[in-house]
């Protein structure tokens, strides 16, 4: 059992700042009214600036990576956004014992931004930092609609996308655990490991890979090896890049 000290969420979520860019969440107001919410992106909404918001992001990633197929960029974009959402939720849960309400209608997103994805939360509403709340906030509130939206547009296997989600969670947990251990925050490290194990046991993520300590080995591939100079990721199911077929593996 991990003893958890609850700390009030401050308006700027300052405790996340030492953890790096994937953990940061802007809360000082949305700088441009044109920035869509993530809810709009998941719903297939468009804007005067970006057109179809989600497709805009996928094609930006494709251009940046020189991806030979748009679906590869869709996978990478999915994992990048998942990493941001997990990092914020896990960081807050471990350091505050609470998380902000991450309702997709409150989170604004710059689809033309660089990595890590730029997010603005229009209002900080504290919620419990327990497993069930994080599941509702991230898995149900974001990753289910994001996965459905990308599958409707691109030829991506469900297992690949949930493998991306699990990989992003494990990556956020490793970074947070390293920081907590290095800074004497043993309670935050213990909370991180406990919460991560609970989340990976959720039916949507169970079976996506194997967690050993903070090391994770996924059972699917995100397709990154197919971009020029990409190689394989540290938690990939492959030990070396496979030969590419015209379609590539679906995960």
pLDDT in tens, 2-55: 545 577 899 999 999 999 999 999 998 777 778 999 999 999 888 888 999 999
What the block records as the tokens of 132 is 């069930």
Contact 227, 65 (CB under 8 A): yes
Burial of 170 (0-12, 13-18, 19+ CB in 10 A): buried
Q: Does 214 have pLDDT greater than 80?
A: yes
Q: Does 151 have pLDDT greater than 60?
A: yes
Q: CA-CA distance, 199 to 87, in Å (whole number)?
A: 13
Does the N-terminal peptide bond of residue 8 adopt cis geometry, omega within 30 degrees of 0? no
Which are the contacts of 69, defined by CB distance < 8 A and separation ≥ 6?
226, 248
> In the chain, where are the structural domains located?
14-226
C-alpha gyration radius of the chain:
17
Q: CA-CA distance, 6 to 130, in Å (whole number)?
A: 11
Q: Does 59 have pLDDT greater than 90?
A: yes
**Short-list 201, 217, 222, CA closest to 81:** 222
Residue 217, strand partner residues: 210
Q: CA-CA distance, 233 to 158, in Å (whole number)?
A: 19
Which pLDDT score, from 0 to 100, does residue 219 have?
A: 92
Q: Which of 44-58, 67-81, 140-154 has the lowest mean pLDDT?
A: 44-58
Burial of 1 (0-12, 13-18, 19+ CB in 10 A): exposed
The CA–CA distances, whole Å, from 198 to 32, 39, 118, 119, 145 equal 37, 26, 27, 26, 21
Q: CA-CA distance, 32 to 125, in Å (whole number)?
A: 22
As a whole number, mean pLDDT of residues 111-115 equals: 93
Q: Does 231 have pLDDT greater than 60?
A: yes
Q: Does 117 have pLDDT greater than 60?
A: yes
What is the average pLDDT value for the chain, to the nearest integer? 91
Pairing, β 98-100 against β 51-52: unpaired
Q: CA-CA distance, 65 to 206, in Å (whole number)?
A: 30
């Amino acid at each position: 059992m991990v003893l958890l000290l609850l700390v009030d969420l401050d308006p700027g979520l300052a405790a996340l700042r030492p953890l790096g860019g994937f953990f940061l969440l802007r809360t000082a107001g949305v700088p441009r009214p044109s920035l869509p919410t993530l809810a709009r992106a998941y719903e297939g909404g468009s804007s005067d600036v970006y057109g179809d918001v989600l497709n805009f992001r996928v094609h930006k990633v494709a251009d940046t990576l020189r991806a030979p197929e748009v679906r590869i960029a869709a996978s990478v974009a999915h994992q990048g956004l998942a990493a941001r959402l997990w990092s914020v939720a896990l960081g807050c849960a471990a350091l505050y014992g609470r998380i902000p309400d991450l309702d997709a209608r409150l989170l604004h997103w710059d689809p033309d931004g660089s990595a890590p994805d730029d997010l603005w939360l229009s209002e900080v509403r504290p919620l419990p930092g327990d497993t069930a709340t994080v599941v509702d906030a991230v898995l149900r509130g974001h990753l289910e609609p994001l996965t459905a939206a990308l599958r409707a547009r691109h030829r991506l296997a469900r297992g690949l996308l949930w493998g991306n989600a699990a990989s992003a969670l494990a990556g956020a947990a490793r970074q947070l655990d390293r920081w907590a251990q290095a800074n004497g925050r043993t309670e935050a490290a213990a909370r991180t490991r406990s919460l991560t194990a609970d989340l990976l046991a959720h039916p949507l993520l169970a079976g996506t890979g194997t967690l050993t300590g903070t090391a994770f080995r996924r059972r699917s591939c995100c397709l990154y090896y197919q971009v020029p100079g990409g190689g394989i990721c540290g938690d990939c199911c492959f030990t070396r890049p496979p030969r590419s077929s015209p379609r590539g593996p679906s995960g």
